[in-house]
Amino acid sequence: MSETLWDWGPEDGVLFSRSREGDSQKERLLEAGVTLFARQGFEGTSIRDLAREAGCNSSLVSYHFGSKEGLYRAVLQGHFDVLMENLEVLKGRDEPPIRRLVSVCRLVMGMHRRYPHLWPLVLREMQRPTDALTEMFQRAVACLAGYVMETLREGIRQGLFREDLVPEHGTLALAGMLNFYFLSEPVSGFLIPRGPETDEIYAQQVLALFLDGVRLPEEDGR
């Protein structure tokens, strides 16, 4: 993939922001929840642990969120909201299919960079799903995956991508290549040192490999 294509749109409009609550104690509890739930799981984290990490009184968990489960839901919802907000930004653009895929790769990579503690939590939940995650996770995944699948379908309609491409399979393949790099860091980090530059190169190469597989061969037989 050309450098020009990947560098296109540096002001890509992706927000990567979360609305900050006026109450700093509530915000600290949310941050504590991200860290501890990812590290210890829902069952392994107590209200006392959360309060200690946030530097506040245990009663504030119930005051702000109703319960530990309420805080857990709020942690997940806050991050999924960021994903959905950014996805709406992408949907609002008039981009050709290949550039849509560039934007999706940047979005996924940016979410991993900005919220590294979130993904171990999501992975833990995928292995042992709870009601707190299932509805939110399915909705977020359905929206993002649906956008990628429609992008692949549009590429097929425009004669850019192979007619035998199954959009659902292509979407899973791209998601797997992008996410595994970050999720496997605890066991593969010694092989591939992580950092912004390495992340960028990896994402570029993933998209190049993916596009080489889905694009129609050029007329010259390349």
The DSSP-derived string for 32-94 is HHHHHHHHHTTTT--HHHHHHHHTS-THHHHHHHSSHHHHHHHHHHHHHHHHHHHHHHHHTS-
Q: Indicate yes or no: pTM above 0.75.
A: yes
Average pLDDT across the chain, whole number: 83
| Percentage with pLDDT > 70 across the chain | 86
Question: Whole-angstrom Cα distance, residue 167 to residue 4?
Answer: 26
pLDDT band at 220; cut points 50, 70, 90: very low
- What are the tokens at 190? 């010694």
pLDDT average, residue stretch 34-46: 88
Q: pLDDT for 92-144, tens place per residue? A: 988 999 999 999 998 988 888 888 877 777 777 777 776 766 777 778 888 99
CB 182 within 8 Å of CB 120: no
| Largest separation between any pair of C-alpha atoms in the chain | 70
What domains lie within the chain, and their CATH numbers?
74-214 (1.10.357.10)
Q: pLDDT for 53-66, tens place per residue? A: 999 999 999 999 99
Q: Which residue has the higher pLDDT, 163 or 123?
A: 163
